[in-house]
Chain A
Amino acid sequence: MQELHDEKTGKAKKERTPMPEQPADVRRMNFNEVTLGYRKEDALTEASRCLSCKDPKCVEGCPVNVDIPGFIKLVCEEDFAGAIEKIKGTNALPAICGRVCPQETQCEALCVLGKKGQPVAIGRLERFCADYEHQKGVKVPEIPEPTGKTVAVVGSGPAGLTAAADLAKLGHKVTIFESLHKAGGVLSYGIPEFRLPKEIVRQEVEYIKQLGVEFRPNYIIGRIKTLDELCDEFDAVFLGTGAGLPSFMGIPGENFNGVYSANEFLTRVNLMKAYDPLYETRVRRGNHVVVVGGGNVAMDSARSALRLGADEVSIVYRRGEDEMPARREEIEHAKEEGIIFRLLTNPVRILGDEKFNVTAVECVKMELGEPDKSGRRSPVPVDGSEFTIPADVVVIAIGTSPNPIIFKGSEGLEQNNRGTVVADEETGATSKCGVFAGGDVVTGAATVISAMGAGKKAAKAIDEYLKEK
C-alpha cells in the first residue's frame, strides 16, 4: 500500500483532523452545539486524506448511498457548492446526517484508511458542505413537470421528509401530515439543541417545502382522519410515523411526580424549550437526576438535565459499557461533561415522599450471564445487592415503540406483535394496497439515517407503483 504523507509536514496522515468543539466545562452549562464544525482549512486537510478508491466501500455503508468519494473530491478542489449538490443528489438532509449519523458503524467503518489508522471523517465533511451551503444560501433544484399524482406522507421525521423530498423531485404532489405543531419529528422533539440545533432542522424542512411539499401540522392520522380516508384521497400513502410511544419499566413508584419518560423530558426541553425562560413550558429541574437506559436517548436526557442545572446526573444501565447501544462519541461526550455511569445496575423500585415527589431510586447490582437472543450477554441480578440512589428527577429512557394510533381506521394494515407495521424491506410496501412504510414504525426505534434510507427506498417504490397505477 502506498505510504501516505501530508504534503506540508511530511507526517503520515494516519490521524483525522480533529473536530473543534466547546470545552466540556463550558458546554455543560449551555445548550449551544457541542461541536463547532470544520473550518475551511480543516475540511481541505481532511478531504485530502481520501484515497478516492475505485471501488469505494464507504458508499455501500451509507443507507442512502451518498457518492462519498465524489463529493470529497470536489471538497479537495474547493468546489463546495458542487460538493453539496453531489450529496443532495441522494441525501435531502445533509446538515442533519453530518451531525447525528453513526458514521463510525456505517460509511466510516468501511473506509480503507480505517484498517491502519483512522478513517476519513466523512460525516464531518458532509456537515461542512451542508453548513457552507446554508451560509451561502440554499439552491433550490428544478422541479420536474407535475405527474398529477398525489402522495400523502404521514409523519415529518427523517423517513417522511426523505420520502417527501424524493417524491417531490419526481414531480408528485406531496402532502405531509404531522401530529405536532412543528415539522421534524424526533429531529425536533427528541434530539437536543446541543447536538442538533433546531435552526438546522428548520432550514432543512424549509428546503423540502421549497420542493413544493405541503405541510399539514397539528394533524393526527388515526384520529382527525384515518389511513383509510387518506387512501381514498391520495394515489399513495407513506407511513413514517416513527416509534413515539414511550416504554416504562413497570416497577413500583413509576408514577411519582418527577419521573418522566425520556420522550416527555426531551419534548419539554427541546420542542417546548423549557430551558429558555422566555418560553412557558416547564420541566422539573432536578438536583440529583437519574436516567435509566444506555442508548443515545439516555445520553441526550442526562446531558440535558446537566445543562438545566443539575448538581449530579447519573446514568443507570443494567448491562456493561460495551453493551451500551449509544454512540461511542455520545458516551465520551457525556463522560467528559461529568455524567456518572452506574453500570450493571438496574432499578427495582422508585421511592417517593408524602407529597408524591420522587426521592430515590432503589437499584440492584447486576452481573453478566450468557448471551441472549440479541447476542448481548444478559444481565442477572445479584442477590442482596440492593442500594438506593437519591433522586429528585428520574428519566426513563429504555426505549419506544410505534404509536398504535395509526392503526385506527386502517383496514388490512398488518402489524406484528411488537406493534410495528409489517413492510417489505426493499420497497416498504405494506399489506394494504397503495400504502408504504419505513423507518422506526417498521423497525422499532433505530437511527435517523436508517429511517432516511427506508424513506428513500419507499419513494422509489411508490414512484414505480404510481407509474403502473
Chain B
Amino acid sequence: MGKTTKQLAKLSEGESLEDFVGPLGTPADIRKLGTVILVGGGVGVAPIYPQAKAYTKAGNRVISIIGARNKDLLILEDEMGKASTELYIATDDGSKGHHGFVTDIMKRILDSGEKVSRVVIIGPPIMMKVGAGVAFPYDVEILVSLNSIMVDGTGMCGGCRVTVDGKTKFTCVDGPEFDARKVDFVELMNRLAMYRGEETKAVEKYEEECRCGLH
C-alpha cells in the first residue's frame, strides 16, 4: 500500500481521476474446465472476484478460498460466497474461518482426491510463491496473476519484465497471468522491492501532510 493507494482511498463518490487507461494485458482464459480452485489473499480477493463470477458463468464448479491477516481485513466475503460453488475462509490470527493460510485449505482439497483442473492464485507475491510450491506436485494447472512495477502498461518500458520458463516476458502485455510453475518468484519479489525506500518516504511525507491538514 503506497502513497497513491492512500490518495485513491481519499476520493469521494463523484470525484474522478484525470487519466485512466484500460483494460490492458492479455484477458484471462476462462472456459469450462470442470472444477477450479480460486485462491485470493488480502487485496488479491478483489481481482479473484470477477474471475469467480466468470468461471461460474462458464459452467465450472468454483471452489474459492479467501484469506487475510484478520477478519477486519477480509474483503468481498458475501460477494465471493454468491459467486462461488463453495467458499472457504482463512485468517492468519484465526479471527475468522481456518486459523492459518489459504494454501492449507487448498492443499486439503487437492489431497481429497477431487479432480481439479486449475488453480488460480492471486495475492501478495510471497503467497503466490508459497501457493505455487504447495500445488506444484499435483496434476493441476496453476496460474498466478502478477503485479510487477510498470510505467505505461502497453509494452513500452519493459520495467515489468519477469522471467517465465527462462525467458523474459512483459507482465503488462504477456500477462498478467502466467504458469506459476515457470515463474521466477525470487526475481519478481526483488524487482517489486526496487523503489520500496522511496515509497516508504513518500508515504511518511504524505501522512505527515495529512496530519497537518494539507490533504
Contact = CB atoms under 8 A, between A and B. Distances in A.
The answer to whether A and B assemble together is: yes
Interface of A: 179-181, 189, 217-220, 223-224, 244-246, 248, 250, 254-255, 257-258, 260-261, 263-264, 267-268, 272, 280-282, 284, 355-356, 403-405
Nearest to B19: A181
A281 B168 CA distance: 24
Interface of B: 3-4, 18-24, 151-152, 154-159, 161, 163, 168, 173, 187, 190-191, 193-195, 198, 202
Among all A-B residue pairs, the 4 with the closest Cβ atoms? A356-B190, A264-B157, A218-B21, A181-B19
A201 B161 CA distance: 30
SS class, residues of chain B in contact with chain A: loop
Contact of B151 (A219, A224, A267, A356): A267
Contacts of A282: 195, 198
A405 B173 contact: yes
A405 B161 CA distance: 17
B151 A268 contact: yes
Given A255-B168, A356-B187, A218 B20 contact: yes
A257 B3 CA distance: 21
Given A181-B19, A405-B173, A261 B158 contact: yes
26 contacts: A180-B152, A181-B19, A181-B21, A189-B156, A218-B19, A220-B154, A223-B24, A224-B22, A244-B156, A246-B158, A248-B168, A255-B187, A260-B159, A261-B159, A263-B158, A264-B156, A272-B151, A280-B3, A280-B4, A282-B195, A355-B190, A356-B193, A403-B154, A404-B155, A405-B154, A405-B155
Contacts of A403: 154-156
Nearest to B24: A223
A257 B194 CA distance: 6
B23 A223 contact: yes
Nearest to B195: A282
B151 A220 contact: no
Given A217-B19, A272-B151, A405-B173, A263 B157 contact: yes
Scoring B151, B158, B163 by chain A CB atoms within 10 A of each residue's CB, the highest score goes to: B158
A418 B202 CA distance: 42
Contacts of A223: 22-24, 154
B194 A220 contact: no
A258 B190 CA distance: 11
A357 to B, nearest CB: 8
Contacts of B173: 405
A383 B65 CA distance: 57
Contact of A356 (B4, B191, B195): B191
Given A218-B19, A267-B152, A255 B191 contact: yes
Nearest to B27: A223
Contacts of A272: 151
B158 A224 contact: no
A310 B194 CA distance: 19
Contacts of B21: 179, 181, 218-220, 224
Nearest to B159: A264
B86 to A, nearest CB: 34
A245 B161 CA distance: 12
Contact of A267 (B18, B157, B187): B157
B154 A179 contact: yes
A77 B23 CA distance: 55
Given A257-B194, A272-B151, A405-B173, A248 B23 contact: no
B168 to A, nearest CB: 7
Given A179-B21, A223-B23, A257 B191 contact: yes
B151 A264 contact: yes
A254 B19 CA distance: 32
**Could you say which of A223, A280, A281, A355 has the most chain B C-beta atoms within 10 Å of its C-beta?**
A223
A398 to B, nearest CB: 12
B163 A255 contact: yes
A280 B205 CA distance: 12
B85 to A, nearest CB: 32
Most A C-beta atoms less than 10 A away, residue of B3, B168, B173, B187: B173
Nearest to B188: A255
Nearest to A356: B190
A245 B156 contact: yes
B125 to A, nearest CB: 13
B84 to A, nearest CB: 29
B41 to A, nearest CB: 23
B139 to A, nearest CB: 31
Given A218-B20, A263-B157, A257 B151 contact: no
Contacts of B4: 280
A253 to B, nearest CB: 11
Nearest to B4: A280
B157 A246 contact: yes
A254 B155 contact: no
Contacts of B158: 246, 248, 260-261, 263-264
B157 to A, nearest CB: 4
A378 B22 CA distance: 43
